Amino acid sequence: QTANISLDPRVEAFLAGGPKKLFIGGEFVASASGKTFETIDPATGKAITSVYEADAEDVELAVQAAEKTLAGAWAKVTPSERGRLLWKLADLMEEHAEALAQLETIDNGKPVTHARVADIPLAIDHFRYYAGWSTKLAGEVINNSAGPNMLTYTRREPVGVVGQIIPWNFPLLLAAWKLGAALATGNAVILKSAEQTPLTAIYLAELIQQAGFPEGVVNIITGFGPTAGAAITNHPRIRKVAFTGSTEVGKLIMQQAAGNLKRVSLELGGKSPNIIFPDADFSKAIPGALMGIFFNQGQVCCAGSRLFVHKKVYDNVLADMTSFASKMKQGNGLDESTEIGPLVSSEQFARVSGYLQKGHEEGATSLTGGAPLDGPGYFVPPTIFADVNERMTIAREEIFGPVVAAMPFDDEAQIADVIRRANDTEYGLAAGVWTTDLRKAHKVAHALEAGTVWVNCYNALDAAVPFGGYKQSGYGREMGSYALDLYTQVKAVWVNLD
């Protein structure tokens, strides 16, 4: 479980200078309290470095910096120049891609080979995509019935000071998802990274400073949810909060945000169904189902954690998946041959281990995996549970680990039964369907209650395609043109020409 790549000197330089500071008003500063906390390498359980711990006073300073630039420098930056800054940031991230990938791996545990091809390039692409939107925001002139000389038009204006709170599973990518649309539309931001994975957001802050954004446009703070996070959601002059995280904390965010009726967008948990029909192309469906649950150690909000396989092919599909999963190489993410890394923290390790135990207690059978590994590090092997029924805890609750609950279904012609079972959840983030029958594919896609449906693919994401939840998986859509609605407010202007 050791690393086999040499560390990028930029990572070594970055880590040498701890404790890492908050980025407020264009400067790197210690927290008002002076308190710090350690961030842990999940592959070893050892501290990587420490970071300053923000709280309400730091949030207040960030809000003041954001308000100052909204009334000053940022307001004078043209849309074209905003786009240029976002593009510049993307270029800098590309230059620093290897350092960012390694840092993400050290802090989060994910295989560096995955960070290199997924997290980092997707984050870069996200900023480039929204750079383009900066110059394409428009209102409309509306033909009204209020009289021949009444001109009415709309403007899309920024919301103002925006708070953003992100989790630890895709630390840099989710920072990009949050910042891209907010900055393209002219807002000023206070972003709080997750306490488990603060490092790439701080590295990103250095690049934001280099790119030349006016000071105070982006403020990045590190700290805990009930303190720094709650200070954001409770702040009376923050007008919007965007949150990605658990459904449980999403509910708290809404309550806190109600204080000043902040606009709220929430991207929350999931228990996504992945349905394999007997006419699927198994050369794609089997790797797709494996990737759908084991990518990022299963710590993916849209993970395909409920696997419905038609009974005609159930045994074969599970045998193939088991054979592959049992051979996956698990280890330190900094080893390039690693296919699955550790879970992010000792808390998640304990949580997921608890679900494994519960699965066995409730009568499920693990075909592979099924028990956590001994330390150091927080390793849980890829686990496939068979003999699962829908009332079991492992089939209902979000595990957020490499654990899939497989269940057979037997209606081919009607599809109604498997649809009903797939939709029998309070979540609705994503779903997958594997079939070569075009009609069935679309019928099922339309019937599933989920914000994303993947047909003959899984976990596909693109900056141009909206992403978000149905039911208790949240609301609001990030990415694509849809995210612009989260960060703009529409003003109607009436002009009497008489």
Catalytic residues: 267
Q: Are 63 and 31 in contact (CB under 8 A)?
A: no
Helices (H), 73-219: 73-76, 79-95, 97-108, 112-114, 120-133, 171-184, 199-211
Cα separation, 116 vs 283, in Å, equals: 25
Distance CA 381, CA 374 (A): 11
Q: Which stretch binds ligand ADP (CB under 6 A): 31-39, 78-86, 165-173, 485-493?
A: 165-173
Q: Tell me how crowded residue 389 is: count the other CB atoms within 10 A of its CB.
A: 11
Q: Where are the beta strands (DSSP E) in 305-373?
A: 306-310, 365-368
Nearer to ligand ADP (CB atom), residue 5 or residue 254: 254
Cβ-based nearer residue to ligand ADP, 226 or 259 = 226
Provide φ and ψ at 418, rounded to 5°.
-70, -30
Contact call for residue 382 and ligand ADP (CB under 6 A)? no
Q: Is 225 in the site for ligand ADP (CB under 6 A)?
A: yes
| 229 is a site residue for ligand ADP (CB under 6 A) | yes
Residue 163 is a binding residue for ligand ADP (CB under 6 A) = no
Q: Which stretch binds ligand ADP (CB under 6 A): 57-65, 161-169, 197-205, 280-288?
A: 161-169
CB 325 → ligand ADP: shortest distance, Å? 24
Is residue 165 within the footprint of ligand ADP (CB under 6 A)?
Answer: yes
Candidates 160-168, 284-292, 358-366, 414-422; binding stretch for ligand ADP (CB under 6 A): 160-168
167 forms part of the interface with ligand ADP (CB under 6 A): yes
Residues 108-147, one symbol each (x = binds ligand ADP by CB under 6 A, - = not), give ----------------------------------------
Stretch of residues binding ligand ADP (CB under 6 A), selected from 120-128, 172-180, 227-235, 439-447? 227-235
Residue 40: CB minimum distance to ligand ADP, A = 14
DSSP notation for 374-423 = PSSS-----EEEES--TTSHHHHS---SSEEEEEEE--SS--HHHHHHHH
CA–CA gap between residue 51 and residue 37 (Å, rounded)? 6
Asked whether position 230 contacts ligand ADP by CB under 6 A, the answer is yes
Tokens found for residue 267: 């991207």
Question: Using CB under 6 A, which of 55, 195, 267, 335 touches ligand ADP?
Answer: 195
Nearest to ligand ADP of 222, 488 (CB atom): 222
* Nearest distance from C-beta of residue 400 to ligand ADP, angstroms: 7
Q: Is 11 within 8 Å of 49 (Cβ atoms)?
A: no
Between strands 273-276 and 430-434, the pairing is parallel
Report in angstroms how near the CB of residue 374 gets to ligand ADP at its nearest: 24
Q: Which is nearer to ligand ADP, 222 or 425 (CB)?
A: 222
Window 235 to 254, contacts with ligand ADP (CB under 6 A):
245-246, 249, 252-253
- For strand 430-434 and strand 452-455, is the pairing parallel, antiparallel, or unpaired? parallel
56 sits near ligand ADP (criterion: CB under 6 A):
no
| Cβ nearer to ligand ADP, comparing 260 with 326 | 260
Pairing of strands 188-193, 161-165: parallel
Q: What gap in Å lies between CA 414 and CA 160, rounded to an integer? A: 50
- DSSP for 49-95 reads EEEE---HHHHHHHHHHHHHHHTTHHHHS-HHHHHHHHHHHHHHHHH
Provide the 3-class DSSP secondary structure of residue 219: strand
The region of 204-212, 222-230, 332-340, 359-367 touching ligand ADP under the rule CB under 6 A is 222-230
CA–CA separation, 409 and 29 (whole Å): 57
Query: Which span (136-144, 159-167, 358-366, 475-483) binds ligand ADP, by CB under 6 A?
Result: 159-167
Size of the site for ligand ADP (CB under 6 A): 17
CB of residue 65 to ligand ADP, shortest distance in Å = 20
Cβ-based nearer residue to ligand ADP, 97 or 161: 161
Cis amide prior to 287 (ω within 30 degrees): no
How much is the CA Rg of the chain, to the nearest whole Å? 23
Nearer to ligand ADP, 200 or 435 (CB): 200
- Closer Cβ to ligand ADP, 165 or 307, answer by number: 165
Can you tell me whether residue 39 is helix, strand or coil? strand
Binding of residue 214 to ligand ADP (CB under 6 A): no
CB atoms within 10 A of CB 315: 12
> Among residues 103, 194, 276, 293, which is the contact residue for ligand ADP, using CB under 6 A?
194
Nearest distance, CB of residue 352 and ligand ADP, angstroms:
12
Report, in Å, the least distance between residue 299 CB and ligand ADP: 8
Q: How far is the CB of 441 from ligand ADP (least distance, A)?
A: 32
Query: Distance between CA atoms of 220 and 40, rounded to whole angstroms?
Result: 20
Closest distance of CB 485 from ligand ADP, Å? 23
Distances (CA, A) of 131 to 64, 79, 134: 26, 9, 6
If the CB atoms of residues 165 and 313 are measured against ligand ADP, the closer one turns out to be: 165
Give one word for 196, left, alpha or beta, with left for phi > 0 and alpha for psi -120 to 50.
Answer: alpha
* Interaction site with ligand ADP (CB under 6 A): 165-167, 192, 194-195, 224-226, 229-230, 233, 245-246, 249, 252-253
